[in-house]
Chains A and B, each alone.
Chain A
Amino acid sequence: MLPADLGRWKRLSAVPLAAAVVAVLVVPGPDRVAASPPAGLECRTAADNAFDLTATGGYAAMPDGNTIYMWSYASGGGEFQLPGPTLCVTSGTKVTVVLHNSLPEPTSITFPGQAQVLADGRPAQPETDAAGTLTSLTTTAAANSGAVTYTFTAGPPGTYLYQSGTDVQKQVQMGLYGALVVRPAGHPDRENDRADSAFDPDHEYLYLLGEIDPDLHLAVERRRAYDFTRYKARYFTINGRSMPDTIAPNHAEWLPAQPYGALIHIRPYDPVGNPKPALIRYLNAGSVAYPFHPHGSDEQLIARDGRPAQGPAGQDLSFSNFLIDVSPGQTVDTLMIWKDAEHWDPQGNPIPVPLPSLQDQIVGPGPETWFAENPYLGGTPGELPPGVVQNNQCGEYYHVAHSHALEQATNYGASFGGMMTLIRIDPPAGCPA
């Protein structure tokens, strides 16, 4: 730039620049995150249901130290994130998703479960090449800065995937997927229109399940060919993270591109004080079924693929599970509570078997450790039997929840990792910070 230009540029820029500063401070983005809870589903909403997604590349961190090149979505000119932002809309509203493509090849978004999706105003259509070979399941945005605008009317309330419809085998595996949450009109605290799908909005969780073959990602990063017959997933993720990163907070600073945690944090069911269940939204963006096993509590399966579990006359056809087997491309929503079934209490109702003494805990060889010395939920040191020590924050419980295809509950083979997270249960009175 010529020096002569500089002054003008400055002069012309100062005011808008100042305005921009103010705007950034006071005006919400084109779409926004309502709140940023440390744990739980984080919605991206937009006043006019218009979302801006950029398909782009970035890096995801695995707990074993590996860094994986991924493709996923950046929202509204923000940072690359895996998975794409969780888009929340209300059933029956018009939704607009503008896809910008910064990838070196065409890409697209399919919205499984949404009807009559338009692309740039015309029905979204499969694409073929000159020879008639299918190249994309839906209308694409051209490589390197192409764009396409999808519009549709949000379908029945529930949980949906959105994901690439182009070179699906590669692009979805690369990370081009996210969750679309459709809320029932007038009832944001229900999973669907049924009253028995009500949940506690402060306890809504996202389990977007996926997998990674690092060889494929390396090949894409280096623009080399990859032989899909050698495909072998080594990392298994919830919301793009593996244990222990799944229990890190949302937006943990060491996971800049993986903003969504998967810790479940609840209190025991109580008909008065805590009557509403938590809601868990499972989505499978991988290539195999993920048999997900929550410990400590079963879950009521109330919907699949955005359809409530109900009969033609509205009968409740939900059912109880200790294993939620989510098929590829499928979504499953469950309600979950944990009940203090026995109300163990050191004085009035002690646990009827001997508790190992503190001595045992210290000298135990191997990884035999006492993680929750105190078996009494919320028990304070004064209430505990002799020798039993309170070593957690406030007497809270931790249960694990994980894939029961147990090779998936590893970080590249190292156990207690992978597709796994924790369920934290605080005492009824909560846990002081």
Chain B
Amino acid sequence: MTDPVRQGSISRRALLAGLTGLGTWAVLPESGSDAQPRRPAALLPRAVPNPTASLHLAATDGWVSMPQGSPPISPFWPDPLAPAGSDLYVFGFRDVTGLSATEVTGQRGKAQITAPLLGFDQETDIKIKLTNLGLSQRPDLVDGHTVHWHGFRNAIPLFDGVPELSISVPIGREFTYFYRPHDAGTYMYHCHFEDVEHVQMGMTGIVYVRPAQNSGTADVPPGRYVYNDGDGSTRYDREFALMLTEVWAEAHYRDAHIQTTDWTDYKPSFFAFNGRCYPDTLAPNGDPLSQAAGRLRYQPISSLITANAGERVLLRLANLGYRNHTLTVDGVDLLVVGKDAALLRGRDGSAEYQVTSTVQIGPGESRDVILTAPEPGTYLLYDRDLTSLANAGGGRGGQLTEIRISPPGTLPAQTRANA
């Protein structure tokens, strides 16, 4: 929450305003959990319009692939209905920005997991159009879909994506969501239509907000920061987002085979980073529009972390499974700077950063964690819960990926997250 009483660093904030907005309040957060002083609530003219970002998402079903060679879970996995090269039925989002209407319709039945990774600048006017393409495997279902920006502060119900309290998008229709984020950090988004089902089926992704501070203030030079920290302490060189999910293969099978599921029987069989289980987590980023992408075509987001020694690496961690998970990196200290899209700093400015070797993340939580890349080599990032380190109960797998560190200067500057 954003507390009404906030003290300290007013001058800093005022300077930030002066630098970036020439005194207009359009660039200032209305509500800052970033340990910033708060602008009094008032209706002032917006002197400079915010930049706008438009995005088009499509929601549909599809087929993906869990690691080959995992022990079968008869009869649920591999799903006998799955097209060649795939083995698991899912629901998911696709980024169809810029595609023609025909091309968009052509993505029906081609969902991806996890959902596209979204990043926006603070104080951007964001318009996300959601088109419901229907479910190709289940034409009998009339399920709507929604976008719920999980954690968005001071939301109004219309854009909150809870169908029971506002709307969902019927099949063949579209709806445009509007967001003006004032609070930097790592959030997530997911469909909220029959959420226990649609979230489990794969309609989950990470969305993050870059702080206004990135354009520089009197105290910190322009750069890449996690939060409006005022002191540069959340600066990073490379960022990697990991969406933690679980796959209950039985429920996915039942959805494909027109059977019902008692969700209180929940018993996950696969544990994923960005919709992939180790060793698939290491494969490079893919593109669902590219035939060449192969077996992981509809799981396009890589979890391989690369950096040069000495660089500061930001991990944006979010959990949309239904179980707690605890991540660790062998031999590397982790600096936790944010939780739930809020800088870890008390209302009086007291530091709450935490140095640790394990980070526990509950369902629906996020963490921003910075590590300093150690000596060149390969380091493992994985779930401390060892049952989450298996694929369908067998062998090594699950929520595990590698951090590969190169000598200084080897890798060029990162151009986008998870690359």
Contact = CB atoms under 8 A, between A and B. Distances in A.
A–B touch (CB < 8 A): the answer is yes
Interface of A: 196, 232-234, 269-271, 275, 277, 289, 291, 293, 295-300, 309, 311, 315-323, 325, 334-344, 348-349, 351-356, 360-361, 364-372, 375, 377, 397-400, 404-410, 412-413, 415-416, 422
B43, B154, B168, B262: most-surrounded residue (chain A CB, <10 A)? B154
Contacts of B197: 415
Interface in B113-146: 125, 127, 142-144
A337 B31 CA distance: 11
A370 B169 CA distance: 11
A404 B364 CA distance: 6
26 contacts: A196-B3, A196-B5, A196-B347, A271-B41, A289-B324, A289-B362, A295-B155, A297-B155, A298-B153, A300-B347, A315-B346, A321-B339, A336-B1, A337-B4, A341-B182, A351-B178, A355-B158, A360-B173, A366-B143, A368-B167, A368-B169, A371-B166, A400-B164, A404-B322, A410-B196, A415-B196
Given A293-B150, A320-B2, A416 B164 contact: yes
Nearest to B174: A356
B165 A399 contact: yes
A270 B3 contact: no
B171 interface: yes
Contacts of A269: 4, 41
The 8 closest A-B pairs by CB, nearest first: A404-B364, A316-B346, A325-B362, A320-B342, A322-B151, A315-B350, A375-B158, A406-B196
A323 B364 contact: yes
Nearest to B40: A271
B41 A270 contact: yes
Given A343-B43, A407-B322, A296 B155 contact: yes
A366 B263 contact: no
A407 B266 contact: yes
Given A339-B154, A406-B263, A354 B176 contact: yes
Interface string B156-198: 1111101111111111010111101010000100000111110
A201 B372 CA distance: 46
B356 interface: no
A366 B320 CA distance: 26
A363 to B, nearest CB: 9
Contacts of B171: 365-366
B219 interface: no
B350 A317 contact: yes
Nearest to A402: B195
B362 A297 contact: no
Contacts, number: 237
A57 to B, nearest CB: 24
A321 B348 contact: no
Residue from A234, A270, A409, A416 whose CB has the most chain B CB atoms within 10 Å: A416
A407 to B, nearest CB: 4
Given A341-B153, A377-B156, A277 B265 contact: no
A309 B193 CA distance: 36
A412 B347 contact: no
Contact of B263 (A367, A400, A413): A413
* Size range of the chain B interface in the assembly: 35 or more
A372 B263 contact: no
B41 A356 contact: no
Contact of B43 (A317, A349, A361): A349
Contact of A367 (B144, B182, B196): B144
Nearest to B176: A353
A323 B157 CA distance: 18
Contacts of B264: 232-234, 407, 410, 412-413
B1 A297 contact: yes
B30 interface: yes
A356 B41 CA distance: 29
Contacts of B167: 356, 361, 364, 368-371
A275 B4 contact: yes
Contacts of B3: 196, 277, 300, 335, 337
A406 B345 CA distance: 30
B261 interface: yes
Nearest to A300: B1
Given A297-B154, A341-B30, A370 B166 contact: yes
A413 B365 contact: no
B157 A291 contact: no
B213 interface: no
A368 B340 CA distance: 30
Nearest to B360: A325
Contacts of B364: 291, 293, 322-323, 404
B57 interface: no
Contacts of A364: 167, 170, 173
Nearest to A411: B264
A251 to B, nearest CB: 25
Nearest to B151: A322
B362 A271 contact: no
Contacts of A296: 154-157, 160
Given A353-B177, A368-B163, A319 B158 contact: no
Given A297-B154, A298-B33, A365-B170, A319 B262 contact: no
Contact of A372 (B2, B154, B165, B265): B165
Contacts of B41: 269-271, 339-340
B178 A353 contact: yes
Contacts of A409: 195-196
A353 B52 CA distance: 12
Contacts of B150: 293, 322
Contact of B1 (A196, A277, A316, A370): A277
Interface centre among B1, B150, B157, B194 (most CB of A within 10 A): B1
